[in-house]
């Protein structure tokens, strides 16, 4: 069976997936087949700019649908599948762990099973070229103390939330399919992403939009939880690099080298908005900061050591946080119609459920 110059992207209407699809079509040739279930975080508006692009095909469907996934491999004969589809919000995983296991574990297993059958049907050259790239998270490694060294690819897994546990399970399945069946897999574990098209339940867009409207800015606990922030465009470039140069069966950590306390992220957003959109009625937006009861199992610190991808594959992040957060805020301010489109009644109900009583 001959390969096409086609890639399948699961979860390609979500935050990171849609940024990847748009960047891929700007930089690469061939067709992109986007598979997305269009749950609360999947939004076709993210892909509106390529709606008429003949190189892009959108398929509405579930990665757990065995017949659908098998048909996509048979019809499109891709050279790679890039697996972004996942339930990804920790707070939602605490409310409904089962959905996270279904999508992140069972869905990944279904993709692997069908990818392996497809790969085995290829000739020797096709098998050599094909890749299954699985996009994961640094949360599988657990939590760090303030002076602990950053996570490396050899850090033992210690997931602390249902979300992290479900992603750890999917990582292990990807590894098993390589070692048991020979499927040429690649895994990337990234730090916290931010940038255009991020659903507004996540910290940066939630704070940004609340601050813009003069609403309370909820900060968990003491606000000193630390994350390494990675601009989504840097993440996408790292994934393209791993797809092109990574060794099958290996894992590569992708980080932004931008560790920040949550409270410092929040105050940075406040200060930039005060500069770009001053509002006398609201005043200094730092006054809107409201500390709320911490969420269960909240990891204290994540940090990624990206030495391997930098040394072996030649990738480095290009955007420091100060530049990236300003560009992100400017994007949201210029795309309020997109914001209005995703802030549905269902989203408002989620905010009420998650922060009520905190």
Q: Hey, is 305 helix, strand or coil?
A: coil
Q: Mention every residue, 6+ apart, whose C-beta is less than 8 A from residue 344.
A: none
Cβ-defined contacts of 328-335 (< 8 Å, 24+)? 328/194, 328/195, 328/196, 328/204, 328/208, 328/231, 329/208, 329/269, 329/272, 329/273, 329/276, 330/276, 331/195, 331/196, 332/196, 332/205, 332/208, 332/209, 333/212, 333/276, 333/277, 335/196
163 is annotated as an active-site residue: yes
Angle at 95 between CA 93 and CA 97, to 5 degrees: 45
Q: Which of 87, 138, 228, 234 is catalytic?
A: 138
Residue 233: which of 27, 81, 20, 88 has the closest Cα? 20
Say if CB 82 and CB 20 are below 8 A apart. yes
Q: What is the spatial distance between Cα 37 and Cα 69, in angstroms, rounded to a whole number?
A: 12
259 is annotated as an active-site residue: no
Q: Mention every residue, 6+ apart, whose C-beta is less than 8 A from residue 138.
A: 151, 189, 190, 191, 192, 228, 253, 255, 302, 303, 304
Q: Which of 62, 139, 201, 299 is catalytic?
A: 139
Q: Which of 118, 141, 163, 194 is catalytic?
A: 163
Q: What is the spatial distance between Cα 255 and Cα 152, in angstroms, rounded to a whole number?
A: 10
Q: What is the spatial distance between Cα 190 and Cα 141, in angstroms, rounded to a whole number?
A: 11
139 is annotated as an active-site residue: yes
- Catalytic sites, residue numbers: 138-139, 163
């Amino acid at each position: 069976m001959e390969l096409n110059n086609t890639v399948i992207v699961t979860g390609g209407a979500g935050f990171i997936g849609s940024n990847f699809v748009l960047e891929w079509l700007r930089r690469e040739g061939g067709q992109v087949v986007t598979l997305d279930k269009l749950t609360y975080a999947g939004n076709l508006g993210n892909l509106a700019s390529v709606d008429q692009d003949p190189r892009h095909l959108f398929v509405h469907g579930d990665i757990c649908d065995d017949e659908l996934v098998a048909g996509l491999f048979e019809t499109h004969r891709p050279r790679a599948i890039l697996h972004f589809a996942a339930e990804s919000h920790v707070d939602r995983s605490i409310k409904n762990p089962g959905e996270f296991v279904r999508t992140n574990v069972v869905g990944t297993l279904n993709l692997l099973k069908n990818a392996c059958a497809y790969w085995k049907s290829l000739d020797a050259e096709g098998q050599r070229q094909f890749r299954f790239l699985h996009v994961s998270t640094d949360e599988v490694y657990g939590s760090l103390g303030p002076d602990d060294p950053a996570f490396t690819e050899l850090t033992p897994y210690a997931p602390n939330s249902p979300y992290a546990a479900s992603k750890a399970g999917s990582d292990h399945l990807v590894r098993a399919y390589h070692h048991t069946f020979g499927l040429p897999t690649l895994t990337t574990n990234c730090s916290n992403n931010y940038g255009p098209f991020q659903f507004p339940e996540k910290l940066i867009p939630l704070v940004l939009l609340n601050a813009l409207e003069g609403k309370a800015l909820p900060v968990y606990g003491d606000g000193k939880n630390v994350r390494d922030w990675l601009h989504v465009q840097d993440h996408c470039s790292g994934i393209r690099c791993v797809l092109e140069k990574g060794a099958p069966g290996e894992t590569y950590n992708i980080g932004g080298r931008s560790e920040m306390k949550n409270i410092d992220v929040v105050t940075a957003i406040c200060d930039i908005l005060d500069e770009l959109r001053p509002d006398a009625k609201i005043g200094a937006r730092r006054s809107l900061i409201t500390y709320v009861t911490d969420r269960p199992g909240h990891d204290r610190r994540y940090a990624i050591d990206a030495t391997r991808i930098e040394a072996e594959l030649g990738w480095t992040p290009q955007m420091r946080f100060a530049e990236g957060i300003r560009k992100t805020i400017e994007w949201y301010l210029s795309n309020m119609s997109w914001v209005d489109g995703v802030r549905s009644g269902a989203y408002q109900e989620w905010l009420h459920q998650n922060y009520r009583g905190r």
